[in-house]
A and B are shown apart, each in its own frame.
Chain A
């Protein structure tokens, strides 16, 4: 699936100009006698991963899909997607190539895009089966050295997930099972395996980014506990709590300001969407 508006730039332009854009993109003439409201509608071009629940998929079942639609409605637009796996090169291949004007769900201090105001803040969380009554809230809990712990890891390239660093720096190594951040892309929910591992008892405890943990925990047959990790930051550099923004092309200040205002106007509705998907906030 690709967007019909691919390659068409659109920001705050008048209806007539918008109609021209639509015409040039679709290659189909637009009748001025019988204007179709849908074709005059503004388009918000969004790049997103086609298979990355709970964030987005190409059936638009993720919370970022919902939030993008909400913001588009607020701007009197409809969303047109360009799908691209959200991996290394995502921004380069999408936003920077003008395949879209907005990407969803970036850290608010991300440097490769111009971030909007944050629209939520979440945390890495401990996930465990409720029937285990572990009650672990801190990386410094002495049981962390004994329990079987699952954590997502990144291959190489001078990066890894914050909990992977936190565990390693505490010498919590031999009781750790690594999962990939990417999961199995054939699956309809590539990031779910680590939460499944807790439910099945393969690991006692997993450390997972909040939105993923909250969403998949609700789908398990056994109740799972979701507890934000502490500390919130391992000094001096390693945070476990992140503000999340939308991202626009660097320099596209007009677009960012428009989105900032829409985020502010739709704050409560965004919150309700996040609730619906079980996204823990801090």
Chain B
């Protein structure tokens, strides 16, 4: 246990007030105390009868998409469980997924039913919350799952969750399908093949439904996949549009509406010209992360993955539109702006992490911003109407760059940390998985802090070793990861986006690979890879409660109101993923270069936890 609080700060003036106001959700079916009206929380209220997704995502009695809402705040105004009573939290019920791979999904809750999707073979379970112990009502198993997907998936066989809309549950399968299932009956409505496993494409991300379109991104950057985002019709599953991340403007859906902020993103066919000829065809830029939506601006936001191939000498140029963020119109897919976190990425720093949409006072003026903690180690604040970088501040130890030039928007790279074939480069921080991988952060409008689960790792790339794929021998760099400064491999930060600094941080022994949720009860929940599910005080990070789950946690917590009107918190335990593959994939601890060098940093994880997927739901006694 390494949970010491670094840099406590005085409770914000809001602290006491918030404890009073927290009692305020109109959606609460229980006997919630009368609430003072606070306009800034209006957006979180809604009628329980709401069926429109824009309303539903604001209903805090339910949890209809992994990010909770379109802004991706993962904040709930529920407050029955709060900093004062969370210490009495008890297990209410559990459910085994029968799967022993990494469980990264967020369970979702709609109409007194919880929906859980497992890692490959991606079985969808519906659990009846009205019955004692929440037994399964039905399960849906996608047909004809292609086993080759297990060989194709880069980083364990994970799935990041399902989403509800229009009486249906939508989710993706590792072998490249999107499934629509009737939320009541579990009957298949349609199945659409989006990614082609035969070309190395797989899907691990949770889709997002916006305006009757299911938005689906792909995985497979390591196979030379050409990344894209696809919009499917929610009724039929047919493709409405597809926007590639590389290639000519017309295939990237870049047209007259495209107005990027920085000069380096302006020009014709940059998705071709910033590559050697034909390089864009196998250029990567997959879209396996998170999508957010601003209904007022009517724009979706999502990040693009790393460029390929790995040796950057073979792809001189900025390699548009990889390692960046697109704003697009959901109806047509037309791009409106783009910003590149890492031009010509050298480190596998995919730009697909979550994009939290917040209206924040910046220098006395409220701006429509987008917060994004990137793999490259910076928390970016962008103007989400234009793509302009307002600030970019390091949230981890960084040797690969010295900052972001706010005039040009470019990352200031450190030449001597460049990796290349046969070159020995030590202390590459952050390493390939980045300062932060998929695990999404949460934002509380009460504390005005962004809670960031992340890693503290560095790597050395030295020497070469023989390898082969598909019968083809080659030599690859010998990569070994290890803990960054301080020796702790994980950190849980409370980040003030306005000052660009952490106000407190909790050191964790293992990388923090779980998502997080923050509530109006002033409690933040997250899990650790050795299986502790924790509640900490949102204001100062004090550990308030913890429970040891059967396996390490890399999933995403959610909170909801049960049919009894009581608040519950759920989390999937089940170690795995890239960081946890040493347990779920039986990697050899003596082979430090396994899982692309991650094993070296995780050799003690098998002693700390064992695998096995289990859903835990907690409530007050």
* Contact string against B for A residues 210-230, beta-carbon threshold 8 Å, 1 for contact and 0 otherwise: 011000000000000000000
The CA-CA distance from A161 to B281 in the complex, in Å, is 17
Q: Is the CB of B316 within 8 A of A173?
A: yes
Nearest CB in chain A to that of B146: its residue: A185
Distance of A204 Cα from B348 Cα, bound (Å): 32
Whether a CB of chain B sits under 8 angstroms from the CB of A49 is yes
Type the 1/0 row for A229-250, where 1 means its CB is closer than 8 Å to any CB of B.
0000000111100101000000
How far is the CB of A93 from the nearest CB of chain B, in Å?
7
CB contact under 8 A between A161 and B151, given known A88-B222, A169-B313, A238-B421: no
B421, A165: Cβ atoms under 8 Å?
yes
* Contact partners of B601 in chain A: CB under 8 A: none
| Minimum Cβ distance to chain A for residue B272 (Å) | 13
**Distance in Å: Cβ of B543 to nearest Cβ of chain A:** 36
A183 — which chain B residues lie within 8 A by C-beta? Answer: 470
Nearest chain B CB to A237 CB, angstrom units: 4
Interface residue A13 (Cβ < 8 Å from any Cβ of B)? no
Which A-chain residue is minimally distant from B278 (CB atoms)?
A: A177
Q: Which residue of B lies closest to A64 (CB)?
A: B471
Please determine whether A159 and B314 come into contact, CB atoms closer than 8 angstroms: no
CB contacts (< 8 Å) of B475 on chain A: these are: 162, 237-239
How many positions in chain B have a CB within 8 Å of any CB in the partner chain? Answer: 61
Selected contact of B310 from candidates A105, A157, A237, CB within 8 Å: A157
Query: Chain B's nearest CB lies how many Å from the CB of A116?
Result: 15
Which of A107-115, A128-136, A270-278 faces chain B?
A: A107-115
Give B465-514 interface residues, CB cut-off 8 Å to A.
Answer: 465-477, 479
| Chain B hits for A174, CB < 8 A | 276-277
B152 surroundings in chain A (CB, below 8 A): 85, 87
- Say yes or no for A30: interface residue by CB 8 A criterion: no
Contact B470 A52 (CB under 8 A): yes
Judge whether B359 is part of the interface by a CB distance below 8 angstroms: no
| The residue from A154, A156, A244 contacting B469, defined by CB atoms under 8 A apart | A154
- Report yes or no: B276 in contact with A155, Cβ–Cβ below 8 A: no
User: Total contacts A to B, CB within 8 angstroms?
Assistant: 206
Is A117 engaged at the interface, CB distance under 8 Å to the other chain?
Answer: no
Nearest Cβ distance between residue A66 and chain B, in whole angstroms? Answer: 14
Q: Fill in one digit per residue for B280-318: 1 if any A CB lies within 8 Å of its CB, else 0.
A: 011010000000000000000000001011110110100
User: Do B151 and A87 have beta carbons less than 8 Å apart?
Assistant: yes
Let me know if B470 and A96 touch, CB within 8 A: no
Q: Which residues of A contact B311 (CB under 8 A)?
A: 160, 164-165, 168
* Residues in chain A within 8 A of chain B (CB atoms): 49, 52, 55, 84-90, 92-93, 96-97, 105-112, 152-162, 164-165, 167-169, 173-187, 190-191, 209, 211-212, 236-239, 242, 244
Q: List 19 A-B contacts (CB under 8 A).
A: A49-B470, A49-B471, A85-B148, A105-B471, A109-B465, A110-B466, A110-B468, A111-B591, A155-B222, A157-B432, A160-B311, A174-B277, A175-B277, A182-B470, A184-B199, A209-B473, A237-B421, A238-B475, A239-B475
B-side interface residues toward A, CB under 8 Å? 148, 150-152, 154, 196-200, 220-225, 276-279, 281-282, 284, 306, 308-311, 313-314, 316, 348, 419, 421-422, 432, 461, 463-477, 479, 585-588, 591, 594, 596-597
Taking A154-B310, A169-B421 as known contacts, 10 extra A-B pairs with beta carbons closer than 8 A to each other, sorted by chain A number, are A87-B152, A88-B154, A154-B222, A154-B224, A157-B310, A160-B310, A162-B474, A178-B314, A187-B198, A191-B471
